[in-house]
């Protein structure tokens, strides 16, 4: 039976004492500890933990500068130290593939070969980018040291490089003796999916500020947010494609919802460079990797229009809402390929309907003001028009407002006319009031009609000044977080064919989400 992928914690400090850090790592769920001797200042502590009884298997790494490490001595000194550490019989010893070809490195390798311990990890790092096909590098590594574990690492430019590294794990023999990771925020998928693809290990850091390589998630993030312990070889994959998406709240809410519903799946941030060509190339790569089992994607700025065009070019179906908005925010895998939706429209209407505890159609012929004319405004206008509202668009840049109004056959008024305009519904789709300008509002206090419903798409902070002012006037309000949850809930239902656990999704958002954009 093959062992499952180890969760390795990488340690690069000697304070608090290494022995304490190892105990804490074991407590947090780590199954292996890497000692980054090039980063750890107190070598005596390294020797001490190698001599002591071991709580967890230990991997010794003395990374040279050329491969992203902090070792500043000569190569000869490095190999001498590595050989001395190998004599203390760590469970694993990292040796760079490039060093393996050099004469001094062979001395260290000789020390390894005399005994079964340490087992050698032959590593290769590209700290600048990723080769088009890193499988070729991994094959050379395996040929040079057939008995060793191979570790192939690149720097990810976007999520495509993370997928390329996963391919290394599927090339030829079972992945058990392989590590393939993409560094940087864009490489996160390779670190999380290492378990699905059967890698030897993945690395995590004990705390947010103790990473020993760019993009390492914390052990807590990996286990609590990315469902590390639950990932299986047949887990389905979901994610959010956009640029940037590193601070997206979508992984928090979708992973929490899948866990609650008992769905074998994981949802990941998938940053893809902004051009349409990058989106197309990402989809091509993801589709070609059938083992990935990519079932659904959230799509955000700047790829919503790219996704629509991509679907149109392939004659895949696109919902009326998405067509009307000119934007797709949800891709659903089907037997025939993909289909596109825009859950910003339905999510907004669901939020409205929940607020009044009646179908959104109850607002037919109500008068609505939409402040703003950007992407979110298009979805809100589409929703309001769909239920028969009489909509007026107010936008700072008049031409942009007129263009949006023209597309949906609604009114357009100057931005200066937005105060006390007497509408039944007001929706702020501008970024006014967003953190850090939390004392700003697009409307003056007391400029609302009695019984008015006031919605703010801004979710950071959750209760904006606009909403606080409206509540003070006795208006019912709908905030950006509720709209975000509602659209995410629609996505969940489309992907998993069941109602979304909305309360669980809501609870997954940190109470103070002021540091994070919603997606």
How far apart are the C-alpha atoms of 445 and 75, rounded to whole Å?
Answer: 69
| DSSP per position, 491-510 | HHHHHHSS---HHHHHHHS-
Please, what is the minimum distance in Å from the beta carbon of residue 341 to ligand NAP? 15
Please, what is the minimum distance in Å from the beta carbon of residue 438 to ligand NAP? 12
485 contacts: CB under 8 Å, gap ≥ 6: 253, 502, 505, 506, 509
Cβ 169 vs Cβ 140: under 8 Å? no
304 labelled catalytic:
yes
Secondary-structure percent of the chain, ordered helix, strand, coil, rounded to 5:
40, 20, 40
Quick one: which segment of 16-24, 82-90, 153-161, 374-382 binds ligand NAP (CB under 6 A)? 374-382
Please, what is the minimum distance in Å from the beta carbon of residue 485 to ligand NAP? 8
Quick one: which segment of 67-75, 119-127, 151-159, 423-431 binds ligand NAP (CB under 6 A)? 423-431
Nearest residue (beta carbon) to ligand NAP: 374
How far apart are the C-alpha atoms of 428 and 368, rounded to whole Å?
Answer: 11
* Nearest CB to ligand NAP, comparing residues 141 and 457: 457
Please, what is the minimum distance in Å from the beta carbon of residue 351 to ligand NAP? 9
Q: Tell me whether residue 361 is exposed, middle or buried, using C-beta atoms within 10 angstroms of its C-beta: 0 to 12, 13 to 18, 19 or more.
A: exposed
Quick one: which segment of 77-85, 352-360, 389-397, 462-470 binds ligand NAP (CB under 6 A)? 389-397
Q: Does 377 bind ligand NAP (CB under 6 A)?
A: yes
Q: Does 241 bind ligand NAP (CB under 6 A)?
A: no
How far apart are the C-alpha atoms of 443 and 446, rounded to whole Å?
Answer: 9
Cβ 122 vs Cβ 150: under 8 Å? yes
Kindly tell me which residue out of 213, 368, 429, 453 binds ligand NAP, with binding defined by CB under 6 A. Answer: 429
Please, what is the minimum distance in Å from the beta carbon of residue 246 to ligand NAP? 16
How many binding residues for ligand NAP (CB under 6 A)?
Answer: 23
* Nearest CB to ligand NAP, comparing residues 215 and 442: 442
* Nearest CB to ligand NAP, comparing residues 97 and 484: 484
Q: Tell me whether residue 232 is exposed, middle or buried, using C-beta atoms within 10 angstroms of its C-beta: 0 to 12, 13 to 18, 19 or more.
A: exposed
Distances (CA, A) of 448 to 356, 390, 474, 509: 18, 17, 9, 30
How far apart are the C-alpha atoms of 411 and 404, rounded to whole Å?
Answer: 9
Quick one: which segment of 46-54, 267-275, 283-291, 390-398 binds ligand NAP (CB under 6 A)? 390-398
Residues 437-496 binding ligand NAP (CB under 6 A) are 457-459, 480, 483-484, 487
Please, what is the minimum distance in Å from the beta carbon of residue 205 to ligand NAP? 30
Residues 53-82 binding ligand NAP (CB under 6 A) are none
Quick one: which segment of 158-166, 168-176, 191-199, 396-404 binds ligand NAP (CB under 6 A)? 396-404
Q: Does 396 bind ligand NAP (CB under 6 A)?
A: yes
**Token code pair at residue 420:** 């006390």
Please, what is the minimum distance in Å from the beta carbon of residue 399 to ligand NAP? 9
Catalytic residue (one of 151, 304, 386, 465): 304
Determine phi and psi for 508, rounding to 5 degrees.
Answer: -75, -15
Distances (CA, A) of 170 to 54, 181, 192, 236, 267: 32, 13, 15, 17, 21
How far apart are the C-alpha atoms of 299 and 519, rounded to whole Å?
Answer: 9
Per DSSP, what are the bridge partners of residue 343?
Answer: none
Q: Catalytic residue numbers?
A: 304
Residues of this chain that bind ligand NAP (CB under 6 A):
372-377, 395-397, 400, 429-432, 434, 457-459, 480, 483-484, 487, 518
């Amino acid at each position: 039976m093959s062992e499952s992928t180890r969760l390795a914690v990488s340690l690069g400090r000697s304070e608090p004492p290494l022995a304490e850090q190892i105990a804490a790592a074991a407590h947090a769920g780590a199954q292996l500890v890497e000692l980054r001797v090039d980063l750890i200042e107190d070598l005596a502590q390294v020797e001490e933990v190698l001599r002591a009884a071991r709580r967890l298997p230990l991997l010794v790494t003395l990374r040279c500068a050329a491969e992203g490490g902090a070792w500043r001595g000569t190569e000869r000194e490095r190999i001498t130290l590595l050989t001395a550490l190998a004599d203390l019989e760590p469970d694993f010893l990292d040796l760079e593939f490039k060093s393996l070809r050099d004469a001094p490195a062979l001395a260290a390798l000789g020390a390894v070969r005399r005994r079964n311990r340490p087992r050698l990890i032959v590593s290769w790092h590209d700290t600048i980018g990723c080769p088009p096909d890193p499988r070729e590098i991994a094959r050379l590594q395996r040929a040079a040291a057939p008995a060793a574990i191979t570790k192939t690492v690149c720097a990810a430019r976007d999520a495509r490089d993370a997928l390329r590294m996963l391919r290394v794990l599927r090339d030829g023999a079972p992945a058990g003796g392989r590590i393939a990771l993409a560094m940087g925020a864009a490489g996160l998928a390779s670190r999380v999916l290492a378990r699905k693809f059967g890698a030897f290990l993945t690395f995590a850091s004990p705390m947010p500020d103790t990473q020993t390589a760019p993009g390492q998630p914390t052990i807590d993030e990996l286990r609590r947010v990315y469902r590390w312990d639950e990932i299986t070889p047949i887990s389905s994959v979901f994610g959010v494609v956009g640029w940037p998406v590193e601070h997206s709240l979508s992984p928090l809410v979708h992973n929490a919802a899948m866990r609650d519903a008992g769905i074998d799946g994981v949802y990941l941030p998938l940053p893809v460079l902004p051009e349409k060509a990058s989106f197309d190339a990402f989809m091509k790569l993801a589709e070609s990797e059938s083992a990935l089992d990519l079932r659904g994607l959230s799509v955000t700025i700047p790829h919503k229009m790219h996704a629509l065009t991509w679907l149109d070019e392939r004659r895949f179906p696109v919902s009326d809402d998405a067509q009307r908005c000119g934007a797709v925010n949800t891709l659903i895998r089907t037997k025939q390929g993909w289909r596109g939706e825009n859950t910003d429209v339905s999510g907004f209407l669901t939020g409205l309907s929940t607020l009044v505890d009646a179908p959104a159609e109850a607002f037919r012929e109500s008068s609505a003001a939409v402040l703003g004319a950007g992407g979110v405004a298009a979805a809100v206008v589409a929703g309001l028009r769909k239920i028969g509202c009489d909509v007026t668009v107010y936008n700072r840049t008049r031409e942009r407002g007129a263009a949006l109004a023209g597309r949906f056959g609604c009114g357009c008024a100057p931005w200066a006319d937005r105060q006390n305009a007497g509408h039944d519904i007001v929706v702020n789709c501008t970024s006014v009031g967003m953190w850090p300008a939390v004392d700003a509002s697009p409307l003056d206090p007391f400029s609302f009609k009695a019984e008015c419903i006031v919605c703010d798409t801004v979710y950071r902070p959750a209760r904006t000044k606009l909403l606080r002012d409206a509540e003070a006037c006795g208006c019912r309000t709908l905030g950006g977080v509720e709209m975000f949850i509602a659209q995410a809930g629609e996505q969940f239902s489309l992907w998993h064919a069941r109602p979304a656990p909305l309360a669980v999704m809501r609870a997954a958002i940190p109470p103070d989400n002021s540091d994070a954009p919603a997606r």
